[in-house]
Homo-oligomer: A and B are copies of this chain.
Amino acid sequence: MTPFRLVPETFPDMPAIAGLSLGTAATGLKYTGRDDLMLMRCAEGSTLAAVFTQSDTAAPPVEWSRERLAEGTAISAILVNAGNANAFTGAAGKQTISESTTALARSLGCAPEAIMVASTGVIGEPLDAAILAAEFDTLVKQDNASWQDAASAIMTTDTFAKGASASCMIGDTPVTIAGIAKGSGMIAPNMATMLGFVATDAALPAPILQILLATATRRSFNAITVDSDTSTNDSVFLVATAVAAHHAPTTVDDPLLDDFVRALDQVMQDLAIQIVRDGEGASKLITIDVAGAPDEDAAHRIAMSIANSPLVKTAIAGEDANWGRIVMAVGKAGAAIDQAQLCIDIGGVAVAANGMRVDDYDETPVTAHMTGQHVEISVRVGTGSGTARVWTCDLTHGYIEINADYRS
């Protein structure tokens, strides 16, 4: 078996989505020598779903896009800039969006309301619409960028571009799903995530698309954490260009959609896990499975309590099989479990069972597992039916280095 590599060696081969085009440009706002503006345009008749951060300090671009989504506006394009989050910028931040969507709408020949926006970067600094608008002509003309170009243009502290795709069938019609994401720190999405842009050529009414996205988000972007900090700008968009000529599903539960749901889960989990693999300072990916909880919410809470514990994460960074810290993290989750039923496996090896260390515990295979780049923790907390799987990374000196001096 090839050892698991935390950082992918190459960007995946990604298929084009019929009815979708990508463009990128460089504003020079914060970065030099790279693009920082991305435009995703979609064919007339496309539908859109999106989920956003639940933060009380959600940024103006989140508020703009949430309002457009609620209005059910027809979607023409999504504009994304990296380097300035346009967050906590108040009325001036809203004005920036109004001006830039108006300017872009002129170039695209659509209504400003047909443009969704997303921003990522520093919080609290004014964002000048003119700096973005100066690149709109370039952006609109250059409409044949690759997924890799687009994924690269939305990066901030990311160290690699993130993309994933899958094929599936709706009835007997082949359909494609492809998406990109960015994110590396301030990752603990709450009903949303960092920026993610997923597209498909399927033809799905917006209400169905929204439910599919929300469900897949729960199992992907909402099941990851790097540092327990929730961004002001988290947004995931799913565009369906309606180019594929498949039978129309009648409801979200239509068996016609089963393979699409599987493929959407695959793409979104792949992207979510790439964000964790690029977690600031990460040296290891950690998968945490919880079973036997009273319900799914309790299982998720316990899994996230382990995934967010700095003591668990530093122990794993040190390749120390300090499983007592997992006991601690389960205990503080507030899920009212009975510790006499608690069982813990690491790397498939039983470490603790029924409230105590297992008899004749041999740490050797567990320590060997800890030296790899993928650490698997499995916890059983009782006999309930609640399960959850979440992904996180370890907490290393790299995280401190990146974040004690990121803005400067």
Q: Which residues of A contact B (CB under 8 A)?
A: 53-58, 85, 87-92, 122-126, 185-186, 188, 190, 227-232, 308-311, 314-315, 317-318, 320, 322-325, 327-340, 342, 352, 354-357, 395-397, 399-400, 403-408
Contacts and interface: CB of A to CB of B under 8 A. Distances in A.
Nearest to A407: B322
Please name the 7 residue pairs, one residue from A and one from B, whose CB atoms are nearest each other, closest first. A123-B324, A57-B331, A318-B404, A55-B331, A314-B403, A230-B332, A90-B356
Given A311-B185, A331-B56, A357-B88, A400 B405 contact: no
A333 B89 CA distance: 20
Contacts of A323: 124
B318 A92 contact: no
Contact of A56 (B92, B122, B188, B330): B330
A309 B226 CA distance: 12
A54 B331 CA distance: 8
Contact of A227 (B311, B317, B327, B336): B311
Contact of A327 (B87, B315, B328): B87
B309 A229 contact: yes
A329 B332 CA distance: 21
Contacts of A92: 356
A25 B315 CA distance: 31
A105 to B, nearest CB: 26
30 contacts: A56-B331, A57-B327, A57-B328, A57-B330, A57-B331, A58-B331, A88-B324, A88-B352, A88-B357, A90-B354, A91-B356, A123-B325, A123-B328, A124-B327, A125-B357, A188-B332, A227-B311, A229-B311, A229-B328, A230-B328, A310-B395, A310-B399, A314-B399, A314-B400, A315-B404, A315-B407, A317-B404, A318-B408, A320-B407, A324-B407
A345 B188 CA distance: 26
Contacts of A338: 56
B229 A320 contact: no
Nearest to A56: B331
Given A314-B403, A400-B396, A405-B318, A327 B232 contact: yes
Q: Which of A315, A333, A403 has the most CB of B within 10 A?
A: A403
Contacts of A87: 324, 327
